Amino acid sequence: MVRVRDLDASLAFYRDALGLVETRRRDYPQGRFTLLYLAAPANPEVEVELTYNYDDEDYGSARNFGHLAFEVDDIYAACARLQQHGVVINRPPRDGRMAFVRSPDLVSIELLQKGEALAPAEPWASMPNTGQW
- 119 occurs within a structural domain: yes
Chain segment 18-52, per-residue pLDDT in tens: 999 999 999 999 999 999 999 999 999 899 999 99
Sheet holding 67-72, edge to edge: 67-72, 108-113, 98-102
CATH of the domain at 58: 3.10.180.10
Distance between CA atoms of residues 99 and 127, nearest Å:
11
- Could you give phi then psi for residue 41, rounded to 5 degrees? -55, -35
- 132 occurs within a structural domain: no
- 106 occurs within a structural domain: yes
Concatenated DSSP letters of 8-66: HHHHIIIIIIT--EEEEEEEETTTTEEEEEEEETTEEEEEEEEEEESS----TT-GGG-
Domain count, the chain: 1
- 133 occurs within a structural domain: no
Chain segment 61-99, per-residue pLDDT in tens: 654 456 888 999 999 999 999 999 999 999 999 999 999
Q: 84 lies in which domain range? A: 2-126
- Reported pTM: 0.77
Annotated catalytic residues are 110
Chain segment 92-102, per-residue pLDDT in tens: 999 999 999 99
- 45 occurs within a structural domain: yes
- 131 occurs within a structural domain: no
